[in-house]
Amino acid sequence: SAMYNAKHNGVSYTKFDSEEDSKRLARMQLISDLKYAVKANQLHLNYQPIVDLNHNKIIGVEALARWQHPDHGMVPPDQFIPLAEKKGLIQELTLWVFDVAFKQCAQWHNMGAKITMSINLSPRNFLDPGLPNEISDALKKCKLDPQWIKLEITENMTMSQPEKALEIITKLKDLGLDISIDDFGTGYSSLSYLKKLPVSEIKIDKSFVTDMDNDHDNKVIVNSTINLAHDLGLDVVAEGVENNNILKILKELGCDRAQGYHMCKPKNAEEISRWIFESEWQIEQNNKAQVSS
């Protein structure tokens, strides 16, 4: 155990640490459990609405993966997604996400709710040359037009190999998919760099948004990000909107879209279906007419 630790940390020797050892064993057990999670039906997707602040209506949802572990209960994605990424399981997991999320989106469209579906990509997904074909195939299966899909990537994914990133994003864009920059503000890119890529939207990270009603600096950061993004022709989503005061401020600042616990927490498909048709953030009237007809 000490030898593995030393190798992992790139040092020549280390002392055995029983606590570290049990953590390592737990991690290894989790990895082996994760291999079976998709097949064993332990994963499901929750969806969180994204609302349009100019028209006060829902325009899309973000798909968020959940793992109900038979012994440990709900394992958060922050824990199992990095494991899947590291252990080569992320591709299978993401293909499963495409299948389930696209099918769900098509179903909502059939019910009259023409909303977008945002999907999180991990760095490995983004660099996978097979990604455009995999998305096309999954979309064809449920007869969904690519214009309804937004792929969320982080700034850092585009920064390590900028030329490659441009090539990949251009390919995805040519397919008709939209690209959104997630967690904006936490990475090392600038808006002027991002503008060189064919992306249409940035999502301001929740660490700036959740307390912007009390933290003056964060309000200034959100305000200037919105203005600069708009000057560069990019739409802005604020994530982590936890109260009505923040929502009001965002509207005053001209933010285009918002997502957060205040509007709706991530919920399963059935609960979100109800929210889409019954909440105050209603879908467009003509869509609703189709539902009732």
According to CB under 5 A, which residues from 102 to 121 bind Ca ion? 120
Measured from the CB atom, the residue of 112 and 172 that comes closer to ligand C2E is 172
- How far, in Å, CA of 62 to CA of 229, rounded? 21
Residue 207 CB, nearest approach to Ca ion (Å): 10
Q: Closest Cα partner for 222 from 59, 211, 243? A: 211
- How far, in Å, CA of 41 to CA of 55, rounded? 38
> In sequence order, what are the residues at sequence separation of 6 or more whose Cβ sits closer than 8 angstroms to the Cβ of residue 111?
273, 277, 291
Tokens of 268: 């399963």
Contact flag: residue 179 with ligand C2E (CB under 6 A): no
- How far, in Å, CA of 255 to CA of 261, rounded? 17
Q: Which residue is nearest to ligand C2E (CB)?
A: 260
- How far, in Å, CA of 102 to CA of 119, rounded? 10
Measured between alpha carbons, how far apart are the two ends of the chain, in Å?
Answer: 65
Q: Which does 96 bind (CB under 5 to 8 A by kind): ligand C2E, Ca ion, none?
A: none
Contact flag: residue 206 with ligand C2E (CB under 6 A): yes
Contact flag: residue 76 with ligand C2E (CB under 6 A): yes
- How far, in Å, CA of 186 to CA of 230, rounded? 19
Contact flag: residue 235 with Ca ion (CB under 5 A): no
Contact flag: residue 201 with Ca ion (CB under 5 A): no
Residue 205 CB, nearest approach to ligand C2E (Å): 7
According to CB under 5 A, which residues from 136 to 195 bind Ca ion? 152, 182-183
Q: Closest Cα partner for 114 from 140, 136, 139, 145? A: 145
Binding pattern for the stretch 95-134 against ligand C2E, x by CB under 6 A and - elsewhere: --x----------------------xxx------------
Pick the binder of ligand C2E from 33, 178, 182, 235 (CB under 6 A): 182
Measured from the CB atom, the residue of 6 and 83 that comes closer to ligand C2E is 83
According to CB under 6 A, which residues from 38 to 67 bind ligand C2E? 48, 64-65
- How far, in Å, CA of 23 to CA of 26, rounded? 5
Measured from the CB atom, the residue of 225 and 287 that comes closer to ligand C2E is 225
Tokens 């469209």 sit at which residue?
109
Size of the site for Ca ion (CB under 5 A): 4
Q: Which does 78 bind (CB under 5 to 8 A by kind): Ca ion, ligand C2E, none?
A: ligand C2E
Residue 9 CB, nearest approach to ligand C2E (Å): 26
Size of the site for ligand C2E (CB under 6 A): 23
| Strand spans (E) along 156-255 | 178-184, 201-204, 235-239
Is residue 53 within 8 Å of 257, Cβ to Cβ? yes
- How far, in Å, CA of 131 to CA of 177, rounded? 12
Site residues (CB under 6 A) for ligand C2E?
Answer: 48, 64-65, 76-78, 81, 97, 120-122, 182-183, 206, 210, 239-242, 259-261, 266
